[in-house]
Chains A and B, each alone.
Chain A
Amino acid sequence: MSDEYILELKNITKVFPGVRALDCVSFSLRRGEIHALMGENGAGKSTFIKVITGVHQPEEGEILLDGKIVHFRNPVDAQKAGIAAIYQHVTCYPSLSVAENMFLGHELVTSKVKRLDWKKMYREADEWLEKLHANFKSDVEMGNLSVAQQQLVEIAKALSMNARIIIMDEPTAALTEHESEELYAITERLRDTGHSVIFISHRMEDTERLAGRVTVFRDSKFIGVWDVKDVTRAQLVKAMVGREITQMFPKKKVNIGATVLEISHLGRTGYFKDVSFSVRSGEILALTGLVGAGRTEVCESIYGVTAYDEGCVKLNGKVVRFNHPAEAIAAGFGYLPEDRQKEGLVLQWELSKNITLPALQQIKKRSGFLDVKKENHIAGQLCSELMVKTPSVFEAASLLSGGNQQKIVVGKLLTTPKKILVLDEPTKGVDVGAKAAIYEIIGNLAEKGYAIILISSEMPEVLGISDRIVVMKDGRVTAEFETAQADQNKILKAAMIEGVDKK
């Protein structure tokens, strides 16, 4: 029976000071299968992977490779055993070449003098890249590659080290639809050549498309394993969340008012061109497209983080130009950045200081000093309004959960009066429960009269919450729909092929 499984983990428990990251978890991987691992954030998936790859050692339980018990004392042991992991954020050496990145740790040397054999390394690296249909050569600097290309290098590296088990941690999160397709093809090829793959993803499409079986973790425990063809989405969601999520998207009746923001023929060399659309008060406009289509770039240039080279922006009918986010904020334009930890929060600070950062001028006393009492009051108010789960406003931002952190960043937007908000992937990396809360907040904001631009790549979100949809591809607007008349196919077509269904 154990011959069927290349990898088995039995009753794994991993404890960190104060927290049980894995609680008696079991898992099995058949030879030549693609096995999906799903669960909310914090369910224990990452820790589990780290146990398999030798980064962490479990307190209890055993790992069996090919039926034999193994102990990985460090990542190198796991590597030698043929286990490789490819993460969402590729850890690589950006200033070194692709070939060097591939071979670091197991360089090829000349036999006599043990000198590094660059010729051989470049040649072999190129061979692997060709097998994976890469569109670049191995002497390119790693830092000049896109995320998708870097992941390809990681896969090539894993294969070059004779990995038999390949683990992919949210690999499609940063990829375009096209690149995801490529990745699917590669993954299937890996399976067909006898490799076994563990695939972590939040996306049902990935699981349904690729996996033979799916395992769900919840709250550090193993919930169950199913054959993908035998289980429904609703069942999986229930397993992940533990409760039925019926109303994901609140349906509120909102009065849509006058045009708040109007951009015409906006362009920035090398990033986007001829972009035009408008948003009205109370309206939620979804700005969608593949990753890299230019949506964030457009909004950042309006906001003043970068600059546009042509076109014009009108706020409430008046032509405006924001050269710096401070000007945009003062004019009532709010921006929720894509990466809340890098762009949205000062993690070392208390959440009260975080919330008031865009509004420092507002919390000044007449004397010029900062009014700390007022600051705490504002923070407390917003925390209640947004239902942030925290005992005090002095909690360090780093200690909050992903969902709560996102709420704090939203809170930042609400400290000064705003007319329009841009929310850039607000539910990225947020678990299902918190997602629903954020949709609720967005609905409330629209009801209050804010004009909202929602940048999102998640189709259910785009179709579920928006009033209108603008699709971009490669820096241009390719389509515009009323959400009521749109569907997944139309949107995907516009995102991947140019100029379809232009209304």
Chain B
Amino acid sequence: MDKEFIARGVKRCSTGKFLLWIVPWAALLAFGLYAAALVLVKGLNQTNMDNRFAFGLWIFLDLTVIALGAGAFFTGFLLYILKIGELRAVINSAVVIGLVCYSGAVCVLAVDVGQPLRAWFTFWYPNVHSMLTEVTFCISCYLTVLAIEYVPIVLKNRKLREVPSFLVFEFELHKLIYVLAGVGTFLSFFHQGSLGGLYGVLRGRPFAFREGLAVWPSTFFLFILSAAAVGPSFVLLTTWLVEKISRKKLVKPEVFGLLGRISGLLLSVYVIAKTVDTLIWINRTSPESGFPAAQYYSWQPFGTWILFAEIGLLGLVPALMLLSPKLRAHTGWLVAAAAMACCGVALNRFVMTVQTLALPTLAFDRYLSYFPSWQEVGTFLAVVAFGVLVYSVSFRYFQLFPSERELKMQVK
């Protein structure tokens, strides 16, 4: 039915099968949208957040998906600025992942604020000292860049190419791709950093507060580094998943290896930097605020295990796995290491958001717990469903993996 929209030389499942795949995700999206609508209409009392747990599942989700979506800017940076040509095989997919992650995060942020209609106030009355202002500006601009980067992918569709003006527009747009990659990289560096800075500047929360360079706390740089490290891992992971689900060879094994090696190198640097930062925080920053660092880990269930899990098990271990050429050669190990790296960064974002708020600051304060409401979980799931749907449609109708046709011919 939709054959003429599918690229020449590639094979996609039947329309019926495709519909069968997207219907459950569409249903999940509808459920999530209902949950989000309830929050928008009735207010944030529909969530389990409170005056102590001012942020919850959604902020954790935002920080995590934006870190995972970093593959878009970092792959673009490596391909267009550092000229690592092999990454052309995954750049389109990385852009779609980035677009999905960032647009999902922005939508959730709009639900997460008490007065979403006042979002423009941040542009009208910006507080230049606030990390959130930096985040808002950079994310809005970068989402626009991602949308522009997505346009040529859409315009490459077989049917759309029949319109001459689209062809010209796509050709002209493509000339800008180097500028867009540069702008995207600059904006991404800043907002990944300012997302880290969001918590790092909280001097009233010594668990999160970090010293730094000039106005930027160390978390600013750690977030950039961790996002750059995990972005390629997530691109690797999604490409592998798409290969499995579609039962097609989409990229050459060398590309997987290259993504793994880049991720491993950056993850190693991140683990070293994070370790140094943690030691400075334990021995100087936190005690100087009157909070001996050891006490944070006396509040169960957040014992020291969480620190070791974040830096060791889900940081150092995947870094070493990704650096080892022997392990990289095995897809199973490579994918496992990439998944562990992604989980490590998600755990880091969890610690920065949820653990920070759970810990008491006043002497007579309690340690508090929080469990998200179904409306929060529903909205979270809507982002996942939205991501799967956009990616599925893009994979079916656009050329996300330029090597797919060539690989298919080789198999033949």
* Bind each other: no
A-contacting residues of B (Cβ < 8 Å)? Answer: none
